[in-house]
Amino acid sequence: MKKQVAVIGLGRFGISVASTLYAMGHDVLAVDRSESKIQSIASEVTHAVQADATNETILKELGLSNFEVAIVAIGTDIKSSVLSTILLKRLGIPHVIARANDNLHGSILGKIGADVVTYPEREMGTRIAQGVTLAEVSDYMSVVPGYGVAKLAAQPYLVGEKLSDLGFGYKGKWEVAVFLIQRGDEVIVTPTPGQKIEAGDILVLAGSNDNLEKLLAEAKKNKKEE
Ligand code: ADP
């Protein structure tokens, strides 16, 4: 569903968030106090406005009280990050995501009302580290610490087998749930234990990182034996 999202502060993180949200089809208002930043992002967002995000009057004039989501992407200037987060909450934006540099910055943002505090450098580091161990599971995404969702292309030794016989699902040996199977244009949502895997299927799995890694190691072993 299309949302109205404001991105405040167009450093490397803000630009990446703003342009991705716009490419996903959302209405994106990008705000930065630097004119050059505004010029460089103008063609990649719905509106780009040069303004000081710590000025309440300006934020009101920009209509920010009607936005559903705001992302405060300012990192270095902690005063600006804190003040704009307070003002955006005060304007009634229901979901304010604020970027923190470190724990102290993050705990301040949480206390003044940010709905979500994000640590981009730290999260990217974790993703890259998990990407090393979960390298062969495509599209791994961490969901809660230690647990994630991953896509696995059906390998030949899985084809023709039932999910339950392969040890997936409730009380299965993997403790990994297959919750979607993509089969060409079709998507099978919450497949039954009796569902058989076909060649070309993509399995979408959820489980602990440890179990996803074990499953992967087994898949690798089977691949060699084929
Ligand atoms: P990154 O590490 O992602 O590059 P920075 O913290 O260096 O992020 O960049 C933050 C951006 O936020 C800069 O483009 C800066 O001009 C902008 N910014 C900082 N303070 C304000 C403010 N009060 N109002 C609007 N933009 C701001």
CA dist 48 to 6, 33, 158, 226, Å? 10, 11, 50, 55
Strands 4-8 and 27-32: parallel
Mean pLDDT for the stretch of residues 88-115: 97
Mean pLDDT for the stretch of residues 112-122: 94
Nearest residue to 197 via CA among 152, 151, 163: 163
Calculate how far, in angstroms, residue 195's C-alpha sits from the geometric centre of ligand 1.
Answer: 51
Q: What is the pLDDT of residues 129-185, one digit of tens each?
A: 766 666 556 677 778 878 889 888 888 888 999 998 888 877 778 889 999 999 999
Calculate how far, in angstroms, residue 102's C-alpha sits from the geometric centre of ligand 1.
Answer: 16
Atom of ligand 1 nearest to the CA of 15: 3
pLDDT at 20: 93
Calculate how far, in angstroms, residue 24's C-alpha sits from the geometric centre of ligand 1.
Answer: 23
* The pair of three-digit structure tokens given for residue 218, joined into one six-digit string: 């087994």
Q: What pTM does this model have?
A: 0.72
pLDDT at 136: 55
CB 93, CB 62: distance < 8 Å: no
Residue that is written with structure tokens 């703003």 in the block: 18
pLDDT at 209: 84
Atom of ligand 1 nearest to the CA of 34: 16
